[in-house]
Amino acid sequence: MAEPDPEPMSSGAGQRLGAPETLGISTLDPGHRPPAMPPGRHVTIRVRMLDDTEELFDISQKASGKVLFDLVCSHMNLIEGDYFGLEFQNHQKMIVWLDHIKPIIKQLRRPKHTTLRFTVKFFPPDHAQLLEELTRYLFALQIKQDLSCGRLTCNDSSAAMMVSHIIQSEIGDFEESQCRSHLLNNNYIPDQMPLIDKIMEFHSKNVGQTPAESDYQLLEVARRLEMYGIRLHPAKDREGTRLSLAVAHTGVLVFQGHTRINAFNWSKVRKLSFKRKRFLIKLRPDLNSSYQDTLEFLMASRDCCKVFWKICVEYHAFFRLFEEPKPKPKPVLFTRGSSFRFSGRTQKQVIDYVKESEFKKIPFESRRNVAARPLPTVAGPTTSTRSRSRNAGGQAAAAEEEEEGSTGPSRTAAPGSPQQSSSPGHPHGMVNGQKSLDLCGHSPDGRQPSPLTSPLLNDACSVRTDDEDEVRRKRFPTDRAYFIAKELLTTERTYVKDLEVSFQRAVGDDEATPDSLKSTILSTFEPLHKFHTGFLREVEQRLALWEGRSNAHIKGDYQRIGDVLLKNLQGLKPLAASLSRQSEVLLELEKACRASRRLEALCREFELQKVCYVPLNVFILRPLHRLVHYKQILERLCKHYPATHVDFRDSRAALADVSEVVEQLQGGLIKMENFQKLLELRKDLIGVDNLVVPGREFIRLGCLSKLSGKGLQQRMFFLFNDVILYTSRGMTATNQFKMHGQLQLHGMTIRESEDEWGVPHAFTLVAQRQSVVVAASSSAEMEKWMEDIKMAIEMATTSNGPSCDLLTSNLTDNSKLPHKHTAESEDDMTASHTSLDKPAAHRGNTMVHVCWHRNTSVSMLDFSISVENQLSGNLLRKFKNSNGWQKLWVVFTNFSLFFYKSHQDDYPLASLPLLGYSVTVPSESENIHKDYVFKLHFKSHVYYFRSESEYTFERWMEVIRSATLPSGRARALNSKEPHPL
């Protein structure tokens, strides 16, 4: 289908639509698929979306309401669809929700003439619980509708503020004539004219807000209103007073007009029922309350009672239960009462699922400025490219692509609708929710394939056959020394590319880069790059001779590598000055970034590029890491060779040379790794001004649940040698972590408190100013945290480390736990923030985010071990339910596997963070009848990888286990020993 011409871009308009950009983190699983359609006669159902567009869905009359609802969510690629529902007017002229369990034919008398409305059904107390930007956008559309129809009543100031955020997302930054004209032509609230000046005043303060930030601010204002998410149901009390009943996440509410006069919390309600026109609320006995045990309200009819009762049942189940209630067995003879039950995931299940699947989602983002923002659609069941196509005139508007390597948005009919055109499917169907792409060239529309989204890659775009594998195995050597030499080759290829990132692309010739910094970087990295390029060429030539692939007529003993290593490591000695200047480069770059915001922005923009697959500072330290790798390779080589081997003497001499250099630089490397980690953490945190100070050492970061007045709340904790910080992920465009508080370690005590609070894996941190109760996800996590915190307390007590507070602003906890413990309240925490923080561009896929989503932690010890355990090479990969194996070039670094089509690619096409994963060998029942196969699995995600030899199998298992096994002091002592299989 041809796409309409994109609208012209206007300066300052909010960025929203267009080319998808991946997070660089993926679980590599297929995305959403439309539900299976039962057989039977089909009927076309009309659904009105939240942007007032209408979509047609072709569905079997025998299908349940859940099938139709899942089709609508699949059409929009909506993961958090459980907050929404389909409502319609039944034959009694009442607005009811489509029942997910009952067949369509039993709910819609005239389906062809009924229009269902897709709308928000469950309103959570805090929009921070909505993890997807698409979900928040749909909630913003709901708020816009509620404002327009007068359902969401509020004072003039709140109304004007909300309208200002709506028009900021629609037309962009404030321009007086444009804003006034827009308000004159569009009504957002019933009586808008008197408020135009106030709206414009608020709009002028929203400069720079993206549509996502405007959605956030709109929901921030709306959620504090009395009528937020309220749907009134007329009723009367026993005295005949006209009232209205409503239900919210907290319980049943009673309104008189638009004023709430009573509330019955779920914890106080024993039973909800109805009898004819009477709606009954039975309360739990309370000696301190004057309420009656049973409250009675009279509604218009029995059907009105039942409709409201069903909504209450669903609200209670969604917000209060941990999992979907199981259906009760039907009585054999007699039935009594309604058999209705809540069907679907609870809020807790939704949040857990989205956290697990977040890394495989395409972000709902754009590189284009648009004035109109339509709902996203999906081009059939095999794509998740999101596009919006509504404007004021109801026409489609395609988003213009600015970034190379993206799939173009398109406006198509809904899956299963009559207008949808059929096309031949790919044998593998979907990849991360996208169509599989021909990665040998361009995508079918002539564009480059989307980066970091399609893991179904193979050599020459074909699945490697077992015959080819067998031929190759017979042709190449099987000596263990050969595979050690090959590891040197594969890792050197990755290292040379990393050097190019460091000195050729990082700061370039931009005038913002000081000449002294350019000179330092070039003088440091250029000779190293030149040397290692020559070294790589020699290793490639030696491996080619060893394999007999070139110059086969030349006779000689070429099945060795020690002589090549000795020659080049001796040639590396004159470059020792360059190696010792790595810390100088890191310090000078940090100093220059502090002095120049433009340079800082330049570096951050570079980090967002696909070629910069790990933080930039890590690339700068790569030459020091590489020396450690040479030492390990030579240790394995010397251990393998007998003393009489022709290559043993050269290997021992090379090992002595590299060990001497490593010993000289080891102390500086440890300090620089700590400095680099502090710099990286500073980018992930909001509200911390002086994290990087002399004497501060990073120890551990990870997720813990903090006990507050509202229960356990997920928090990100950062442990240093002088202080503990606790944060939560903010709702900024980069999801940086917002500071909540800090605990000084000096004088702190720690104790287990599982029995005291009745919370599994709980322990209490008692500081001088306050106490905090936290809970780990497992006993192993609790042990790691307690061990490291005790060690940090001892360090803070005996050393003269930094003692300054990390925050420049006072940050206090307002809500209190019972007795002597304190904890923050989400509402109090966010109440003071009237505008969203606008951080600069920043990587959203750092290790902090991985720990947040995997609910785990990682220590500085783990980072140090990961520096030693890096590996590159070809692997064959297979999904759990697929048949063929795909050949990939795989790089393991920074706790993640990065996937390339070949070693010549400049940037990875997908990645897989391994924290939380387990690595094992397949069992007999899995029917993987191949040699040298290992299995990676995390919850429902399972992947198989094949290596070419026993040695490479052992090496991949060893390095991956370094990222998947829990760290500890005992493991640190044996970190250089290979892990048993």
Q: What is the CATH number of the domain that holds 300?
A: 2.30.29.30
pLDDT value at position 338?
59
Contacts of 67 (CB under 8 A, 6+ apart): 35, 36, 37, 38, 59, 60, 104
909 and 773 in a common domain: no
Dihedral pair phi/psi, residue 476, rounded to 5°: -90, 160
Contacts of 416 (CB under 8 A, 6+ apart): 34, 37, 57, 58, 59, 71
746 and 700 in a common domain: yes
Secondary structure string (H, E, C) spanning 233-294: EEEECCCCCEEEEEECCCEEEEEECCEEEEEEECCCEEEEEEECCEEEEEECCCCCCCCCCE
631 and 563 in a common domain: yes
Q: What is the pLDDT of residues 639-661, one digit of tens each?
A: 999 999 999 999 999 999 999 88
- Mean pLDDT over 930-941 rounds to 90
Q: Which residue has the higher pLDDT, 410 or 137?
A: 137
- Mean pLDDT over 971-980 rounds to 40
* C-alpha to C-alpha distance for 883 and 887, rounded to whole angstroms: 13
Whether 440 is in a domain gets the answer no
Whether 794 is in a domain gets the answer yes
Please report which confidence band the pLDDT of residue 376 belongs to, taking 50, 70 and 90 as the band edges: low
User: For residues 722 and 699, is the Cβ–Cβ distance under 8 A?
Assistant: no
Strand partners, 272: 281
Task: For 756-815, list the strands marked E by DSSP.
Answer: 762-766, 771-775
Indicate the average pLDDT of the chain.
77
Please report which confidence band the pLDDT of residue 128 belongs to, taking 50, 70 and 90 as the band edges: confident
Q: What is the pLDDT of residues 315-339, one digit of tens each?
A: 988 888 877 766 655 544 444 555 5
**pTM for the whole thing?**
0.61
Whether 331 is in a domain gets the answer no
* C-alpha to C-alpha distance for 307 and 315, rounded to whole angstroms: 13
Residue 694 lies in domain: 689-798
pLDDT value at position 470?
52
290 and 254 in a common domain: yes
Position 934 pLDDT exceeds 90? yes
Domain of 601: which CATH number? 1.20.900.10
793 and 875 in a common domain: no
Nearest to 424 by CA among 444, 409, 439: 444
Least confident of 82-91, 674-683, 754-763: 754-763
pLDDT value at position 390?
32
* C-alpha to C-alpha distance for 644 and 77, rounded to whole angstroms: 64
Whether 842 is in a domain gets the answer no
* C-alpha to C-alpha distance for 680 and 694, rounded to whole angstroms: 16
- Of 642, 661, 683, the residue at which a domain comes to its end is 683
pLDDT value at position 555?
54
Q: What is the pLDDT of residues 567-607, one digit of tens each?
A: 999 888 888 777 777 778 888 888 888 888 888 888 888 88
Whether 902 is in a domain gets the answer yes
- Mean pLDDT over 60-76 rounds to 89
715 and 626 in a common domain: no
Number of domains in the chain: 4
Q: What is the pLDDT of residues 259-312, one digit of tens each?
A: 899 988 888 888 888 888 899 998 887 655 555 678 899 999 998 999 999 999
* C-alpha to C-alpha distance for 304 and 724, rounded to whole angstroms: 54
- Of 798, 814, 836, the residue at which a domain comes to its end is 798
First and final C-alpha spacing in the chain = 54
* C-alpha to C-alpha distance for 59 and 81, rounded to whole angstroms: 19
- Of 798, 833, 854, the residue at which a domain comes to its end is 798
Q: How far are the Cα atoms of 22, 398, 578, 673, 974 from residue 19, in angstroms, in the given order?
A: 10, 10, 41, 36, 47
676 and 724 in a common domain: no
What stretches of 903-965 show up as alpha helix (H) in DSSP?
Answer: 950-964
The DSSP code sequence of 339-350 is -----S--HHHH
636 and 499 in a common domain: yes
Position 383 pLDDT exceeds 80? no
Q: What is the pLDDT of residues 779-817, one digit of tens each?
A: 999 999 999 999 999 988 887 666 555 544 444 343 333
Q: Which residue has the higher pLDDT, 5 or 682?
A: 682
Least confident of 372-376, 928-932, 977-981: 977-981
pLDDT value at position 468?
52
Nearest to 498 by CA among 836, 903, 856: 903
pLDDT value at position 964?
80
Type of residue numbered 133: E
* C-alpha to C-alpha distance for 517 and 592, rounded to whole angstroms: 8
Whether 319 is in a domain gets the answer yes
pLDDT value at position 766?
92
Strand partners, 686: 738
588 and 726 in a common domain: no
User: For residues 966 and 856, is the Cβ–Cβ distance under 8 A?
Assistant: no
Position 960 pLDDT exceeds 90? yes
Q: What is the pLDDT of residues 160-209, one digit of tens each?
A: 999 999 999 999 999 999 999 999 999 999 989 999 999 999 999 998 88
pLDDT value at position 159?
94
């058999």: which residue's tokens? 339
674 and 745 in a common domain: no
713 and 777 in a common domain: yes
pLDDT value at position 728?
87
What stretches of 55-125 show up as alpha helix (H) in DSSP?
Answer: 65-76
Q: How many C-beta atoms lie closer than 10 Å to residue 976's C-beta?
A: 10
Element housing 45 (H / E): strand 42-48
| Assigned token pair, 522 | 């070039």
* C-alpha to C-alpha distance for 727 and 766, rounded to whole angstroms: 18
pLDDT value at position 616?
85
Q: How far are the Cα atoms of 69, 72, 104, 160, 938 from residue 47, in angstroms, in the given order?
A: 10, 8, 14, 31, 37
Q: How far are the Cα atoms of 306, 757, 823, 824 from residue 818, in angstroms, in the given order?
A: 39, 10, 10, 13
Q: What percent of the chain has pLDDT above 70?
A: 73
Q: At what angle do helices 648-684 and 860-868 cross, to 10 degrees?
A: 140
Whether 881 is in a domain gets the answer yes
| Assigned token pair, 970 | 């005992």
Nearest to 952 by CA among 900, 875, 894, 893: 875
Nearest to 320 by CA among 262, 252, 253: 252
């956008």: which residue's tokens? 137
| Assigned token pair, 330 | 């039907």
605 and 516 in a common domain: yes
| Assigned token pair, 28 | 């590599």
Position 366 pLDDT exceeds 90? no
Q: Which residue has the higher pLDDT, 423 or 501?
A: 501
Strand partners, 723: 744
Of 326-330, 630-634, 976-980, the range with the highest mean pLDDT is 630-634
Element housing 657 (H / E): helix 648-684
Whether 489 is in a domain gets the answer yes
- Maximal CA-CA distance, the chain: 108
* DSSP state, residue 546: H
Instruction: Tell me if residue 638 falls in helix, strand or coil.
Output: helix
